[in-house]
Structure formats: C-alpha cells, structure tokens
C-alpha cells in the first residue's frame, strides 16, 4: 500500500491534482443540465433557439467551444486552436463543431472561425460553468442537455488531448 501511495503522489503534484479536481467538479456541476439558448448566427444574421439547432436532424450532436470576449486572448486562442482539431469528427460521426461566443462585435466573432464552421453569439448559457467566464467545451444533444463539460488549461495539454480522445471515442 505504501509503495502505491508513494507512486501516486509522485505522479501528481498539488497543482495537477487541483486541475483534475476542478475538471471533475466542472463536470459534476454541469453534466446533464438543460441549456436553453437564444443564438444569433453571426454568418447570416438570424436568431435561433436551442431547439432550432436540431430541427433538421435530431440525431445530431454539437461539440461546442464556448468563448468570452473577456477571456485572456492567449487562453481563447489556445482553446480554439485545440477545438479546431475536432473538425475531423464531424466528417466521420454525427457530431458538428460550433463556436458560441460573447463578443461585442459579431464581425470579430465571425473572424475567429474558419469558413463553414457554425458560429453563434449569445450573452449567456444557463449552466454554472458559464459564470466562470473562461473558455470551455461541451457536447449538447437534441434534448438540450449538456454533457462532457471541460475547460482547457494550456499547462496540461495531455489532459486536453485525453479529453478530445474520449470525445472522439464516445461520440
């Protein structure tokens, strides 16, 4: 038992352990909650609801990258760069990556996304994670429920890679 305990403590320093605990709490507090959103499509100027996302195909799921204008630019850039790696999932699976952001300028938000990627503005998403005000990812299904909430931390790229691998395998 002592050898196992020593091995575990050497694998995780205090900061790493706190990051894992924070990720677990984010998931526990948000997973399965219903997110009602009013979304402004920055590409075509239309307003839609969460239900409208699924009206043509209720078996679709969306992989969401949530960004806030107030986030540090480096954190937002990193979160989005990692998120764009998910684009390959939509070609193989039923998932569709989308950006949902809060920016004063719809044009600025639109410029952050690659051509063809869905991008929406909304001031808030009614889940606890949104109150934290930094980039995060989640999956939303046709029931409007949020799953697999995760906030990337560029200091723990292995955790982010593991998260995306789980998303690839699960969805």
SS (H, E, C) 62-114: EEEEEEECCCCHHHHHHHHHHHHHHHHHHHHCCEEEEEEEECCCHHHHHHCCC
pTM of the model: 0.83
Taking each helix axis as running N to C, give the angle between helix 157-170 and helix 14-30, from 0 to 180 degrees, rounded to the nearest 10. 30
For 80-117, what is each residue's pLDDT tens digit?
888 887 655 544 556 788 999 988 788 888 888 887 88
Tell me the pLDDT tens digit for each residue of 66-88: 998 877 777 788 888 888 876 55
């Amino acid at each position: 038992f002592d050898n196992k305990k020593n091995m575990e403590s050497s694998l995780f320093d205090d900061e790493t352990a706190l990051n894992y605990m924070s990720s677990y709490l984010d998931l526990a507090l948000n997973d399965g909650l219903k997110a009602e959103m009013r979304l402004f499509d920055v590409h075509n100027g239309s307003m839609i609801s969460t239900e409208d996302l699924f009206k043509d195909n209720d078996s679709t799921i969306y992989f969401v990258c949530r960004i806030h204008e107030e986030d540090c630019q480096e954190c937002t850039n990193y979160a989005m760069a990692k998120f764009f790696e998910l684009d390959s999932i939509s070609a193989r699976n039923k998932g569709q990556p989308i950006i949902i952001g809060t920016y004063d300028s719809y044009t600025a938000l639109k410029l952050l996304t690659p051509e063809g990627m869905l991008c929406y503005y909304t001031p808030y998403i009614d889940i606890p994670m949104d109150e934290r005000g930094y980039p995060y990812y989640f999956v939303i299904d046709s029931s409007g429920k949020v799953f697999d909430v995760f906030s990337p931390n560029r200091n723990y790229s292995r955790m982010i890679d593991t998260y995306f691998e789980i998303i690839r395998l699960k969805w």
